[in-house]
Amino acid sequence: MKFGRCIVGIGYRWVVKPVLFCISPDHVHQHMVQFVCLVQRCGVVRWLARTTVAAQPPGAARQFGNLTLPNPVGIAAGFDKNAQTTPLLAALGCGFVTIGSVTLRPRPGNPRPWFYRLPRTKSLVVNAGLANDGVEAAIANLRRTERQRGSMPVIASVALVASQADQTPAAMVDEALQCADRLVASGQVAALEFNISCPNVCDDQLFSQPAQFQLLAQAITARGYSLPVTIKMPLTHSDTQFDDLLAIASQHAIDGLTIANLEKDRQRVHLHDELPPRVPGGLSGAVTHQRSNQLITRARRLYGQRFFIIGVGGIFSPADARAKLAAGADAVALITGMMFTGPQLMASIVADIPPTTPVTPTESHPQSPRHIKSQKKS
């Protein structure tokens, strides 16, 4: 399989990538999803991906609450917005895929273009504005592809965003929880992620402010979801602001943290490409790597094993993933790295990660209020 990954990587680097990078990233993403939807229907294609690319070494599994991830390397939210490509991603060896972010109703997003490529910086400017076809379309796609994707867990990212201009925070929370309820009831998802930190919508990350986040956290706790719940954290908060959110999350039925979202402060990063001011959006990729690692380390130092941490941002190699894990992440997720490096990247990381000792669900992160409540009942 190592030879297969090497061949795929070389082919992508020298043949596929030069062609793709001559095309606008919006068109590449759109046609890539369509292409994957077509080829993944073929069992032979999925078999070839499993046998020549995927890696599932012993000891790769990780425990996230009551959920077992076959390995700790997944796809972050934003690539598969409508849950269309999970079978091929599973065949390529992903330990999980985060779909979305999804909303209760279809959302057109921002005017195109949604993406702007910064090749030398190894970054994408993302300005999709949480575009998706709505939760019912995502559920329908998951049901249609359930057999082909097998046992790979799907995490659903639910967006906290206004569906109308005058919507109150309480109404936004209610709408997001309705969306989450439908996903849970469908039986098609293994965990929930609440995205409070999208930098390219016009609400200025309302739910990354303590008062509104408290409202969300209380509502999640009251719902009593049986699935693990994680929060997609902002990258651009100061340490103090980040700590405020952690303190709230630690007191509620929130099991994990996805650290972190896009970089929206262009003054904090050094770019190796020209980025016209007229191009809106947050930056993904290499420019997020260092700050993401700092926040992961901070969360782990302050709260120990209280949270399952999924590290996101600037993963282009197994070494980048090891740095995330060394910082304190339990798992990693990526998108931009796959676009720059190739579809073999996830399996290359899995093959490189040292095995861990298996743990039971309650041993992995025993401090969660969800676990405490279940222990009291028993």
Residue type, 141: N
Convert the pLDDT of each residue in 287-311 to its tens digit. Answer: 999 999 999 999 999 999 999 999 9
∠ CA 114-186-151, rounded to 5° = 85
**What confidence category does residue 366 fall into, taking pLDDT thresholds of 50, 70 and 90?**
low
Spatial distance between the Cα atoms of 265 and 291, rounded to a whole number of angstroms: 12
Give me the pLDDT at residue 367, please.
55
- The per-residue pLDDT for range 39-78, each reduced to its tens digit, is 999 999 999 999 999 998 999 999 999 999 999 999 999 9
| Length of the chain (residues) | 378
pLDDT at 362: 46
Buried b / exposed e over 56-91, threshold 16 CB at 10 Å, is eeeebbbbbbbbbbbbbbbbbbbbbbbbbbbbbbbb
Beta partners for residue 107, in sequence order? 132
Tens-place pLDDT, residues 216-273: 999 999 999 999 999 999 999 999 999 999 999 999 999 999 999 999 999 999 999 9
Q: Which residues contact 223 (CB under 8 A, 6 or more apart)?
A: 177, 180, 181
Beta bridge mates, 154? 97
Domain regions of the chain by residue span: 2-377
Q: What is the pLDDT of residue 166?
A: 85
pLDDT at position 102 is 98
Buried b / exposed e over 185-223, threshold 16 CB at 10 Å, is ebebbbbbbbbbbbbbbeeebbbbbeebbbbbbebbbee
110: tokens are: 């921002």
CATH number for the domain running over 2-377: 3.20.20.70
